[in-house]
Amino acid sequence: MCGICGAVSLAGGLELPDGAAERMIGVMSHRGPDEYGAWRDVSVFLGHARLSIIDLSTGQQPLGTADGTVWVTFNGEIFNYIELREELRGLGHVFRTQSDTEVLVASYSEWGEHCVDRFNGQFAFALYDRGRRRLLLARDRFGIRPLFWARHGDVLLFASEVKSLAGWPGFRPELDPAALGEIFGTWVNVPPATPFGNVLQLPAGHTATLDLGRDGERAAGPVFRRYWHPDFLPAAEDHRYVGRDERARLAGDVREALADASVIRLRADVPVGAYLSGGLDSSATAALIQHTTDRRMKTFSVGFKDAAFDETRWQQTMSAHLGTDHEMIRVGDAEIGGAFADVVWHAETPILRTAPAPLYALSGLVRAQGYKVVLTGEGADEVFCGYNILREAKVRAFWAREPESRRRPLLLTRLYPYLEQSPAGFLTRFYGAGLDGVASDPFFSHRPRWNNTGRITAFLHSEVAVAAAARDPESRLRASLPAAFADWGPVARAQYLEMSLFMAGYLLSSQGDRMLMGHTVEGRFPFLDHNVAELAGRIPASAKLAGLQEKALLKAAVADLLPAEIVTRPKQPYRAPDSASFIVGQGAELAEAMLGEDVLREVGIFDPQRIAALIRKWRAGRLTGARDNMAFIGVLSAQVQAHQFGRELEHRVADSALEPAEIAWRGVEPKP
């Protein structure tokens, strides 16, 4: 992975201000400290911070065609680049490097913007076709790699991280308090929105083309195209009974596809390690790649000092089973609270739990061990039905067919077994809200979660709350749903929302790309190979979620590779201590500095009076409920982000600027 950035003039020539390249690349140098490169012509500037993984000697970027007509700055990997290169050679293309970047450029030259349909990978790139005066921005199918953009006068800016945009003189990302309110409802901003009012993100599975004008004309666009989205079976087929023989055949298909996806993700010119969480997913991918190398596999895990969150026992079981060279780091309240400000800086968005912080520590361990690349099990729960919210949707839909039934809601007590169970009466009221919307409400599956989280908006300043309500994220999300969504069953609908909203906007970002790249580590995700996801989408939900058994088909596919206790253990979602990390030490100091009444008034997002009780409970150590903990972490992270992207931002960007000599300018037109 790498960091990319750039600027495009929308009218006339591009004046590249002194120091802009050094600041835009430098502030995200953590994404790629191995080399810094840039290219420009009269209209476009492309910047790049490289984490060298494939073709270490000749894979520098930005990279252009031999005749200099097409240039690209590229973040990520195209795993099937070897097969594509052979196909392109057969079509007459000649290659000068061994890099996947050159395959990307040749693919564009051959297939235009539809080249993305052929890529098996995780990527975000900006490609400039000088002959057509066209800029192409693209992002991978699941949104594994980020790409933000903004207009600033007659210039379009883009970058892997929002902070890089601030390297352009005069442009400051403006936090939008109302957009923060949206996060307190749905956990994320509905794409293309971001927490910043003047910055947008390219949604997952999209391209954007911008045609620059000729002879003084203004640029036209960008024009957006959605080239991929998760797809599922119609409801009737999704619910059908799948017999034993068919289940066995499907499990074999899953095993084969997942093995292919894992092995192709080992393509690298540096060693590749693997995460071991102690659960089924990362254990499966580690087991599938173990036989592919003669070297002892290196694995990594994070444990917790608080036994309620710790999975060390199962991590060690799996490591011993595979015989890996295993490294682990154990974190507690002090480590989480002490790293929280850095976590928010890298995440660039308010977060509702501290779970990213231990993953930030884990990537630090990986980097300290000399590794740049790890495989992880992310995506399995969304693709193969592992989450309780999917089981919840199934139970509520079953209950909705007989809403007066007293027996059906009893199934709710089988959800969330790792949490202390609430009284049956509470569960009935909580999950029964909106039960009559099973057919008419596209967000039926997520309504309980959003209702629960949305109560945090009560802490907003009254003006911010009004503005947040006016944003109406549900309307924007409803408008983005694919036409087939209406024909899907409740589990498939829930899967789609988890994959396109929560996974793309939170798991792959705040817990994924940002925490990995904070320590310059690339994560690779076999379960998010589109061939695996498309196969899973063609398998009935009744086989993936058999009764209420999560990931039933995936377990059948990999059971012989794993110890029985790994396969049969109940799912334990990854969690971390929240408000407890801010009782003493650096965490407490940060919270005191950010949550004082004067500071709250200065930032203006939250009403000090409305939030006073929450702060009193924190100081007394009485934030024990899930909702209170979410509110506390959400408020604290929003306050931290407001400071980091307020008065601190200019200094942070300036302090991280590169020296001019650190950037290698490439191409036929050197920097003037």
Query: What is the pLDDT, as a whole number, of residue 672?
Result: 41
CA atoms 531, 537, 539, 541: torsion sign? positive
Query: What is the pLDDT, as a whole number, of residue 425?
Result: 78
* Angstrom distance (rounded) from CA 158 to CA 152: 11
* Angstrom distance (rounded) from CA 509 to CA 503: 8
Residue ranges of the chain whose pLDDT lies below 50: 670-672
Query: What is the pLDDT, as a whole number, of residue 418?
Result: 63
* Angstrom distance (rounded) from CA 581 to CA 111: 52
User: Would you say 444 and 490 are in contact if contact means Cβ atoms under 8 Å apart?
Assistant: yes
* Angstrom distance (rounded) from CA 622 to CA 624: 6
Q: Tokens for 111, please give them.
A: 């297939």
Q: What is the DSSP letter of 624?
A: -
β-pair type (155-159, 200-201): unpaired
β-pair type (373-375, 272-275): parallel
Helix 447-454 crosses helix 177-186 at what angle (to 10 degrees)?
Answer: 130
pTM for the predicted model, two decimal places:
0.95
Query: What is the pLDDT, as a whole number, of residue 586?
Result: 97
Beta strand segments in 249-352, E? 272-275, 298-304, 325-331
Q: What end-to-end distance do the CA atoms of the chain give, in Å?
A: 29
* Angstrom distance (rounded) from CA 634 to CA 616: 16
Helix or strand (DSSP H, E) at 535: helix 530-537
Query: What is the pLDDT, as a whole number, of residue 668?
Result: 53
Alpha carbons within 13 angstroms on the beta-carbon side of residue 18 total 0
Query: What is residue 321's three-state secondary structure?
Result: helix
* Angstrom distance (rounded) from CA 608 to CA 546: 48
Query: What is the pLDDT, as a whole number, of residue 420?
Result: 65
* Angstrom distance (rounded) from CA 76 to CA 145: 7
Q: Which residues pair with 77 in a beta bridge?
A: 122
Residue length of the chain: 672
β-pair type (134-139, 121-129): antiparallel
Query: What is the pLDDT, as a whole number, of residue 419?
Result: 61
Query: What is the pLDDT, as a whole number, of residue 421?
Result: 64
Query: What is the pLDDT, as a whole number, of residue 671?
Result: 42
DSSP secondary structure string for all residues of 129-142: ETTTTEEEEEE-TT
With CA atoms as reference, report the closest residue to 595 among 611, 584, 580. 611
Q: Tokens for 560, please give them.
A: 């012989």
pLDDT 10s digits, 192-232: 999 999 999 999 999 999 999 887 788 887 999 999 999 99
